[in-house]
């Protein structure tokens, strides 16, 4: 039985499956791409042929139009397909709508490329299914034991409690337009919030698409046309970048929230000026990563991107071989994967020195 | 309610920049928490209750016992803060059914538990809490909450919540220890206002308004008294049979930071004055005093190098006698007699400045250039000592600010209402770069002085001229000149430029002036009054 490293290898364009003749989530335009999900760091424009779930293809068309692939081949979850000498299957990854793990088999050897995934429940997509394999290819975005995502309902309760404390203020929640936004909406609905939710323009296309694909989101209104008074006490969902943008000025004394796994670390939240950090992530946390790897029974794990050092160390402690692939381009362009750098202080002679003297009135 | 509820409050306070929002959070805490939890929580926030039973090493050891050392080290490296790392990494135990401890249980247990049993006790608590609760507990027992809630802010929140005047709260506050049961009983109408008796309490200060031209014109020299406005910090000294305290302007107890003053308070009185660093009778610039501020203690070297003194300007109580209802002139006469009689070391009398006309007073003010003088204080001769800022009784008349044309270098977004605006500006002046050219060196940061319209204009300009980004900071093209005004320039070893500005603010946007014609560092140095570098 051939070891997967003989037929699946990292290249500058991405992970290449030689006997199948295709790349998985390539970072550059290629002849044949298999795409795990629609986030921009995994689904790039300009490939000649793209294979993905029907939902992922629909998301790619909505986001990049003509760039979504000259030919598109949909493959439903669980259906097997032969590409070259390789048998390929897509299995739910639980990350966002349409997200899939790519299960590859060649001459009796099986590798699973999981893309991005999570194990928490998510009403907007099919849940992750573990598949036993010889090599499990995993992300490691939150691969430090400090990252343990709390139950999302608890975080939503914080948001709703804040609305009772500050009923006059607009609560603007920064969230990625694909996946996080729609998940937040379903979480809010599940918590009993049946008032309309307001959307920044950047969130509208994908919410509409989710509804077309069978994910009900309730009443959604654009936040752009509503006047300031109408947004008092409202929840507005916006891209994280918009919070710092001029757009946010239309809002009534906004409380700025951000929903992201990075919000678990206080300093990260503070440097981004977040007032209400909500630890809600579409990535596996430390426990989920380790549990998932154990469930696949894989004796060897390849880490595509993220904190590979900690994960590989933890795997070695239980006799699992770990290998860092350092794939280029993954983990970019996605808010969950990109914390802001801590603020630089250009004025002080040395780091850590006290700030400038504050004015002190004396009478 | 438990540590968990306190943790949620703490978390919101840490992330909330606005004063009004902080007040709302505190009011909610008072309204929803039972006694004694709300009082203990309040005392912990304002750091009137400080534990330091656990050293950081103990917390680290606890975590090391439950986790892998490599993973702990990688995590600490990533998070930065040890307490937060431990709070986040602490592995939750399945099957822990014990409820999280109450704040009062924590306080009580810390008092009675022998030192050797503390690690087990603390680990047991950590097992019952979630990550926010663990962080709150660790910060609480290692003595470093630091959430930016001053005692003053807490008392304003109590006043707003209860409807009682904040002055009344101020005056009894330091006489009733945490968890403030009698205060809450009074605020909720179950008991009369508590009487602190002889306790050394803080008396709310009388504050001044800035003098405007129209007020100046109406000023009758015969009815007003003038003194220098010293650039120090306002303090209230209170001493008597109940003890001695030095209170800051906001009613914080700063006694421990000024042991030499405390030692000199061998009297029974309440005095109002300015805390200054005074060397051989000469008042040092504010930067010198800053070395003494925000410290828990002051060692012998600090006391010797930066000797503190108090310039007295009012007498509120002489013995048990409340002088506050007396007119200013009468209090002043009592103060002079009192200083004569007691002559306490490290204290002197703030001199009165004689003047016959407003014009003459203006000349006096313009003539003052010492760094330690901010301007003049004008006090109405017949006014009682009343708490707060009542118009027409005390004026502060600052001297005209200094000004310099600087180049905008970096901008940062503000907080709250300004969170989408680039409203904090770092600006610099030209100096030789050592290679025959010129370079800009940052000299200060300002976040006030502009109008809303100017703020909007600056924000647009910054977004259109950004050359680099560092998190929330943008570097901009070195092309915009700002006229910056400030009260004084002082040497400082802590700043790249070697100089620190006192209260800088933006006076004007100089679109008419090219950046190359902005001021040079040497122009600013000409303003520096003290040539002796501090720190």
CATH of the domain at B132: 1.10.3260.10
How many domains is chain A partitioned into structurally? Answer: 2
The reply to whether B184 falls in a domain is no
Q: Do A246 and A290 fall into the same domain?
A: no
Mean pLDDT confidence for A333-353: 35
Indicate yes or no: CB of B459 within 8 angstroms of CB of A246.
Answer: yes
Interface test with A, best of B31, B157, B209, B420 (most A CBs within 10 A): B420
- Structural domain including A180 reads 152-278
Q: How many Å lie between the alpha carbon of A16 and the closest alpha carbon of chain B?
A: 31
Average pLDDT over residues A141-161: 95
**Looking at the complex, does the CB of residue A78 fall below 8 Å from at least one CB of chain B?**
no
CATH of the domain at A297: 3.60.15.10
Q: Please write the tens of the pLDDT for every residue from A5-35.
A: 999 999 999 999 999 999 999 999 999 999 9
**A233 and A220, same structural domain?**
yes
**Based on the domain organization, do B294 and B415 belong to the same domain?**
no
Q: Do B468 and B411 fall into the same domain?
A: yes
Q: How far is A144 from chain B (nearest CA, A)?
A: 6
- Band the pLDDT of A337: cuts 50, 70, 90: very low
- In terms of CA atoms, which chain A residue is nearest residue B248? A362
A253 compared with B471, residue with greater pLDDT: A253
* pLDDT > 80? residue A350: no
Co-location of B390 and B412 in the same domain: no
SS3 (DSSP) at A329? coil
Residue B146: pLDDT band with limits 50, 70, 90: confident
Both A168 and A74 in a single domain? no
Is the pLDDT confidence value at A244 over 80?
Answer: no
Note whether A353 contacts B: Cβ–Cβ < 8 A.
Answer: yes
> What's the pLDDT at B369?
65
Residue B1 binned pLDDT confidence (cut-offs 50, 70, 90): low
Report the catalytic residues of B. 229
Q: Which of B398, B432, B447 is the last residue of a domain?
A: B398
**B-contacting residues in A 94-153 (Cβ below 8 Å):** 144-148, 150
Mean pLDDT along residues B123-134: 93
Decide if A274 is inside a domain: yes
pLDDT of residue B310: 97
Last residue of a domain, one of B117, B142, B167: B142
Q: A72-92, pLDDT tens digit by residue?
A: 999 999 999 999 999 999 999
Q: Determine whether the interchain pair A363/B89 forms a contact, defined as Cβ–Cβ distance below 8 Å.
A: no
Task: List the single residue in A with minimal CA-CA distance to B414.
Answer: A273
Whether B242 and B284 share a structural domain: yes
In this predicted structure, the answer to whether residue A194 has a pLDDT above a threshold of 50 is yes
B232 has a chain A CB within 8 A of its CB: yes
Condensed to tens digits (0 to 9), the pLDDT of residues B292-347 reads 988 888 999 999 999 999 999 999 999 999 999 999 999 999 999 999 999 999 99
Does B371 lie in the same domain as B272? yes
Q: Looking at residue B489, what is its pLDDT?
A: 87
Give which of B10, B393, B404 is closest to B205, Cα–Cα: B393
Both structure tokens of A42: 């995994």
Please tell me whether residues A121 and A216 are part of one structural domain: no
What angle do helix axes B166-173 and B151-162 make, rounded to 10 degrees?
130
B272 part of a folded domain: yes
Asked if residue A358 has pLDDT above 70, the reply is: no
Tell the burial category of A205 from Cβ atoms under 10 Å away from its Cβ (0-12, 13-18, 19+): middle
Chain B positions in Cβ-Cβ contact with residue A147 (cut-off 8 Å): 88
Query: From the candidates B9, B78, B372, which should be mutated to test the interface with A, based on the most A CB atoms within 10 A?
Result: B78
Query: Is A70 a member of any domain?
Result: yes
Interface test with chain A among B17, B63, B471, by most A beta carbons within 10 Å: B471
B63/B120 same-domain check? yes
Q: Is B199 part of a structural domain of the chain?
A: no
Distance of alpha carbon B307 from alpha carbon B294, whole angstroms: 16
Q: Tell me what the pLDDT averaged over chain B comes to.
A: 90
Q: Are residues A69 and A117 in the same domain?
A: yes
pLDDT at B507 over 60: yes
- Whether B235 and B338 map to the same domain: the answer is yes
Q: How far apart are CA B293 and CA A167, in angstroms?
A: 39
Query: Distance (Å, rounded) from C-alpha B26 to C-alpha B67?
Result: 36
Complex confidence, ipTM: 0.87
**Minimal Cα distance from B468: which residue of A?**
A344
List the CATH number of the domain containing B303.
3.30.470.30
Within a domain: residue B165? no
Is A357 inside any structural domain?
A: no
Looking at residue A4, what is its pLDDT? 94
Is there a single domain that holds both residue B297 and residue B341? yes
| Residue in chain A nearest B418 by alpha carbon | A249
The residues in B 141-180 lying below 8 A from A, measured between CB atoms, are: none
**B515 and B391 assigned to the same domain:** no
Which pair of tokens denotes residue A349? 């002679």
Tokens of B237: 């000294």
Which segment of A42-46, A190-194, B411-415 scores lowest on mean pLDDT? B411-415
How far apart are the CA of A128 and the nearest CA of chain B, in angstroms?
24
Say which residues have a Cβ less than 8 Å from residue B151's Cβ, sequence separation at least 6.
B46, B48, B173, B250, B251, B252
Confidence label for A248 from pLDDT (cuts 50, 70 and 90): confident
* Residue B318 tokens, joined: 């002489």
What residue in A sits closest to B230 (Cα-Cα)? A362
- The CATH number of the domain holding residue A187 is 3.40.50
Answer whether B503 touches A (CB < 8 Å).
Answer: yes
Q: At which of B142, B174, B192 does a domain end?
A: B142
Chain B residues with CB inside 8 Å of A256's CB?
Answer: 419
Same domain, B327 and B387: yes
Does one domain contain both A117 and A105? yes
Residue A345 included in any domain: no
Give the mean model confidence (pLDDT) for residues A304-329.
92
Residues 6+ apart with CB under 8 A from B270: B203, B236, B237, B238, B315, B316, B317
Whether A122 and A241 share a structural domain: no
Residue A347: inside a domain: no
| Residue A140 counted as domain residue | yes
Domain count, chain B: 3
Is the domain of A53 the same as that of A168?
Answer: no
Radius of gyration over alpha carbons of chain A, in Å? Answer: 22
Whether residue B339 is found in the same domain as residue B486: no
Quote the domain boundaries for residue B26. Answer: 3-142
**Looking at the structure, do residues A271 and A287 belong to the same domain, yes or no?**
no
Does the residue A56 lie in any domain?
yes
The minimal CB distance from B80 to the residues A267, A277, A348 is found for A267
Q: Are residue A213 and residue A103 in the same domain, yes or no?
A: no
Residue B169 lies in a domain: no
Give a yes or no: residue B188 inside a domain.
no
Q: A 219-248 residues with CB below 8 A of B? A: 243-248
Alpha carbon distances (Å) from A267 to A143, A174, B442:
18, 17, 26
Rounded-to-5 percentages of helix, strand, coil across chain B: 40, 25, 35
The answer to whether residue A334 scores a pLDDT higher than 60 is: no
CB B505 within 8 A of CB B449: yes
What is the pLDDT confidence band of residue B280, given thresholds at 50, 70 and 90?
A: confident
Spell out which residues of chain A touch residue B136, defining contact as CB-CB under 8 Å.
none
Residues B95 and B122 in one domain: yes
Nearest to A363 among B81, B131, B229 (CB): B229
Residues of B in contact with A359 (CB under 8 A): 502-503
Read off the CATH number of the domain in which B485 is found.
2.40.50.140
Same domain as A274, residue A289: no
Is the minimum CB–CB distance between A348 and chain B shorter than 8 Å? yes
Whether residue A280 is predicted with pLDDT greater than 90 in this model: the reply is: yes
B286 contacts on A by Cβ (under 8 Å): 357, 360
Q: A210-213 — which CB contacts under 8 Å span 24+ positions?
A: A210/A97, A210/A124, A210/A182, A212/A58, A213/A55, A213/A58, A213/A97
In a domain, A258, yes or no: yes
Domain-located, residue B17: yes
Residues with Cβ within 8 Å of B321's Cβ and at least 6 positions away in sequence, in order, are none
Chain B residues within 8 A of A348 when measuring between CB atoms: 494-496
Q: Copy the structure tokens of residue B72.
A: 């702990």
Of A248, A266, A361, the CB nearest to B14: A266
Give residue A360's pLDDT band: very low, low, confident or very high (50, 70, 90).
very low
Task: Name which of A269, A289, A357 to mutate to probe chain B: the one with the most chain B Cβ atoms within 10 A of its Cβ.
Answer: A357
Residues A188 and A288 in one domain: no
Per residue in A101-139, pLDDT (tens digit) is 999 999 999 999 999 999 999 999 999 999 999 999 999
Q: What span, in angstroms and rounded, lies between the C-alpha atoms of A42 and B122? A: 45
The structure tokens 């006391």 sit at: B303
Nearest CA among B174, B92, B75, B166 for reference residue B129: B92
B67 neighbourhood in chain A, CB within 8 Å? 145
User: To the nearest whole percent, how much of chain A has pLDDT over 70?
Assistant: 90
Is B57 within a domain? yes
- A–B CB contacts, 8 A cutoff, strictly below: 164
Given this model, what pLDDT does residue B133 score? 93
């Amino acid at each position: 039985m051939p070891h997967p490293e003989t037929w699946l290898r990292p290249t500058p364009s991405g992970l290449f499956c030689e006997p199948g003749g295709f790349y998985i989530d390539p970072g550059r335009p290629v002849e044949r791409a298999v795409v795990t999900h629609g986030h921009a760091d995994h689904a790039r424009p300009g490939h000649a042929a793209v294979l993905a779930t029907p939902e992922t293809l629909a998301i790619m068309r909505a986001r990049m139009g003509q760039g979504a692939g000259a030919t598109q081949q949909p493959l439903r979850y669980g259906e097997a397909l032969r590409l070259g000498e390789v048998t390929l299957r897509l299995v739910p990854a639980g990350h966002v709508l349409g997200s899939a793990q790519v299960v590859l088999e060649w001459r009796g050897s099986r590798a699973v490329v999981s893309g991005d995934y999570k194990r928490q429940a998510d009403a907007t997509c099919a849940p992750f299914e573990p598949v036993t394999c010889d090599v499990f290819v995993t992300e490691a975005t939150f691969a430090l034991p400090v990252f343990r995502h709390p139950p999302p309902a608890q975080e939503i309760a914080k948001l709703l409690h804040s609305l009772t404390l500050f009923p006059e203020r607009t609560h603007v929640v920064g969230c990625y337009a694909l996946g996080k936004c729609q998940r937040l909406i379903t979480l809010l609905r599940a918590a009993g919030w049946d008032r309309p939710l307001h959307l920044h323009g950047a969130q509208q296309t994908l919410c509409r698409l989710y509804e077309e694909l069978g994910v009900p989101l309730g009443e959604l209104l654009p936040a752009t046309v509503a006047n300031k008074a109408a947004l008092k006490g409202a929840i507005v969902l916006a891209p994280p970048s918009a919070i710092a943008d001029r757009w946010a000025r239309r809002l009534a004394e906004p409380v700025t929230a951000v929903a992201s796994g990075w919000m678990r670390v206080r300093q990260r939240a503070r440097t981004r000026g977040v007032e209400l950090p909500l630890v809600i992530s579409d990535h596996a946390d430390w426990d989920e990563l380790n549990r998932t790897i154990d469930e696949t029974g894989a004796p060897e794990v390849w880490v595509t991107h993220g904190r590979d050092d900690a994960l590989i160390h933890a795997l070695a402690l239980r006799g699992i071989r770990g290998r860092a692939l350092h794939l280029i381009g993954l983990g970019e362009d996605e808010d969950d994967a990109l914390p802001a750098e801590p603020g630089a202080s250009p004025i002080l002679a040395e780091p850590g020195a006290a700030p400038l003297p504050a004015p002190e009135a004396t009478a | 309610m438990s540590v968990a509820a306190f943790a949620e409050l703490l978390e919101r306070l840490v992330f909330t920049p606005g004063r009004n929002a902080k007040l709302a959070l505190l009011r909610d805490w008072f309204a929803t928490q039972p006694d004694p939890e709300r009082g203990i929580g309040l005392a912990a926030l304002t750091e009137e209750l400080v534990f330091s039973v656990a050293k950081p090493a103990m917390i680290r050891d606890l975590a090391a016992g439950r986790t892998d050392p490599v993973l702990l080290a990688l995590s600490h490296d990533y998070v930065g803060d040890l307490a937060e790392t431990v709070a986040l990494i602490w592995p939750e135990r399945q099957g822990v059914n014990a409820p999280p401890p109450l704040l009062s249980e924590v306080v009580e247990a810390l008092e009675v538990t022998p030192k050797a049993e503390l690690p087990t006790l603390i680990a047991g608590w950590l097992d019952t809490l979630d990550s926010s609760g663990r962080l709150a507990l660790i910060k609480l027992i290692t003595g470093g909450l630091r959430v930016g809630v001053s005692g003053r802010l807490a008392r304003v929140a109590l006043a707003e919540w209860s409807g009682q005047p904040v002055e009344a709260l101020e005056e009894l506050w330091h006489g009733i220890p945490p968890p403030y049961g009698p205060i809450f009983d009074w605020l909720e109408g179950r008991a009369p206002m508590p009487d602190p008796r002889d306790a050394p309490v803080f008396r709310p200060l009388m504050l001044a308004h800035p003098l405007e031209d129209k007020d100046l014109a109406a000023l009758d020299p015969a009815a007003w008294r003038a003194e220098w406005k010293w650039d120090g910090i306002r303090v209230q000294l209170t001493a008597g049979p109940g003890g001695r305290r030095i209170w800051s302007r906001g009613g914080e107890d700063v006694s421990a930071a000024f042991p030499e003053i405390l030692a000199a308070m061998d009297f029974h009185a309440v005095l109002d004055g300015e805390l200054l660093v005074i060397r051989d009778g000469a008042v040092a610039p504010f930067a010198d005093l800053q070395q003494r501020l925000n410290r828990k203690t002051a060692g012998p070297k600090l006391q010797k190098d930066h000797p503190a003194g108090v310039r007295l300007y009012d007498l509120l109580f002489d013995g048990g006698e409340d002088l506050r209802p007396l007119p200013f002139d009468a209090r002043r006469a009592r103060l002079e007699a009192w200083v004569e009689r007691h002559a306490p070391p490290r204290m002197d009398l703030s001199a009165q400045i004689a003047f016959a006309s407003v014009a003459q007073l203006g000349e006096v003010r313009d003539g003052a250039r010492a760094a330690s003088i901010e301007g003049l204080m004008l006090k109405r001769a017949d006014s009682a000592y009343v708490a707060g800022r009542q118009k027409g009784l005390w004026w502060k008349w600052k001297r005209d600010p200094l000004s310099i044309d600087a180049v905008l270098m970096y901008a940062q977004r503000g907080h709250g209402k300004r969170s989408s605006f680039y409203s904090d500006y770092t600006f610099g002046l030209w100096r030789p770069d050592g290679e025959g050219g010129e370079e800009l060196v940052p000299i200060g940061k300002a976040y006030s002085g502009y109008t809303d319209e100017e703020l909007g204009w600056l924000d647009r300009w910054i977004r259109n001229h950004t050359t680099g980004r560092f998190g929330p900071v943008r570097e901009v093209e070195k092309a915009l000149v700002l006229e910056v005004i400030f009260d004084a320039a002082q040497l400082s070893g802590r700043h790249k430029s070697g100089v620190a500005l006192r209260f800088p603010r933006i006076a004007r946007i100089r679109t008419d002036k090219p950046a190359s014609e902005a001021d040079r560092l040497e122009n600013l140095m000409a303003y520096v009054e003290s040539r002796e570098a501090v720190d």
